[in-house]
């Protein structure tokens, strides 16, 4: 397969999004709210995470929600707000695309397309995202084996996509104390088997804000090329995923810890 390591030599390839390089010496910290709620919220968080050391912004405009009655995101307006947050901070933006028909709209604003866990098996979307030429952040399906995940990445690459970053975001297990089980062994395993950069998402991977800092430290320690986290100034008021969102203050302190851990494993932040 195209993603197999031996077809590309030993090293992890780099994926570039604006000034940000995945898979290099420097780890990529992505942060922002689960979902874009309003202009003030997004700009406030964007400025705060930039000051803390994040190099890319996240925020959902089109949200994949379990319930059809839950807030589905601000859609096009959310994209406009993300563009404004990028303008204010200079940080590139990653945001989710839910279906192929949204690709032109989302790709017009996003620097990187997120394909979420629920869509990892959507081969049509994977192909169309690959064909768009935009960098893709491909999250692991919550019930996907490593092999299925690799095939999903292969769909993007085989359609012409060259810039794919993998993201371990937790899988379903028998455990109910956490939202998902963050499979950190997938990080070194994927890096062993493919040349793609691999990041981790301890927010969705645990579903609990208190577990995000320790699992983020562990992700850096096990060789992740970056960490994506949900940050919200008022997690209790968040419209989506408040339980797993950390405050900007906590994020600021966490980045300092991650910097120290990165140094131990020969990386920089
Ligand atoms: C998200 O990043 O907000 C999200 C919905 O992620 P996942 O697809 O991993 O659940
Ligand atoms: Mn979320």
**The whole model's pTM is what?**
0.97
Name, in order, each residue with C-beta under 8 angstroms of 31's C-beta and a sequence gap of 6 or more.
45, 49, 52, 54, 56, 57, 58, 228, 229, 230, 231, 251
The closest alpha carbon to 64, from 120, 134, 124, 112, belongs to: 120
**Which residue's CA is the closest to the ligand 1 atom numbered 3?**
34
User: What token pair was written down for 11?
Assistant: 């090293």
3-state secondary structure of 93: strand
Instruction: Give tens-digit pLDDT for 68-118.
Output: 999 999 999 999 999 999 999 999 999 999 999 999 999 999 999 999 999
pLDDT (tens digit, 9 = 90+) per residue, 130-140? 999 999 999 99
Give the chain's largest Cα–Cα span. Answer: 48
- Ligand 2 center–CA 236 separation, angstroms: 14
* Residue of 37, 73, 114, 182 best suited for mutating to test ligand 1, as the one with most atoms within 8 Å of CB: 114
Distance separating alpha carbons of residues 151 and 197, to the nearest angstrom: 16
At 54, list the tokens: 């994040």
The residues with which 26 forms a beta bridge, in sequence order, are 268
**How many A from CA of 172 to the centre of ligand 1?**
14
Q: In the chain, what are the domains?
A: 26-264 (3.20.20.70)
For residue 83, the model assigns a pLDDT of 98
Q: Ligand 1 centroid vs 10 CA: distance in angstroms? A: 30
């Amino acid at each position: 397969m195209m993603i197999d390591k031996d077809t590309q030599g030993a090293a992890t390839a780099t994926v570039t999004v604006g000034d940000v390089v995945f898979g290099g010496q420097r780890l990529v910290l992505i942060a922002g709210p689960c979902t874009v709620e309003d202009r003030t919220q997004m700009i406030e968080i964007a400025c705060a995470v930039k000051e803390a050391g994040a190099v890319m912004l996240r925020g959902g405009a089109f949200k994949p929600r379990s319930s059809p009655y839950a807030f589905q995101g601000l859609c096009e307006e959310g994209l406009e707000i993300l563009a404004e947050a990028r303008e204010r901070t200079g940080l590139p933006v990653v945001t989710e695309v839910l279906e192929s028909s949204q690709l032109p709209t989302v790709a017009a604003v996003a620097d990187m397309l997120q394909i979420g866990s629920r869509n990892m098996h959507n081969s049509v979307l994977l192909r169309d995202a690959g064909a768009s030429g935009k960098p893709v952040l491909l999250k692991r399906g919550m019930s996907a084996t490593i092999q299925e995940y690799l095939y999903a990445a292969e769909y993007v690459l085989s359609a012409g996509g060259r810039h794919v970053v993998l993201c371990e975001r937790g899988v379903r297990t028998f455990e109910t104390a956490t939202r998902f089980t963050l499979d950190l062994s997938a990080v070194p395993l994927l890096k062993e088997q493919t040349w793609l950069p691999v990041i981790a998402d301890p927010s969705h991977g645990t579903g609990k804000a208190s577990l995000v800092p320790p699992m983020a430290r562990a992700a850096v320690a096990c060789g992740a090329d970056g960490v994506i986290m949900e940050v919200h100034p008022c997690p209790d008021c968040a419209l989506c995923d408040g339980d797993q969102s950390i405050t900007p203050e906590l994020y600021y302190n966490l980045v300092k810890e991650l910097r120290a851990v990165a140094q131990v494993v020969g990386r920089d932040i």
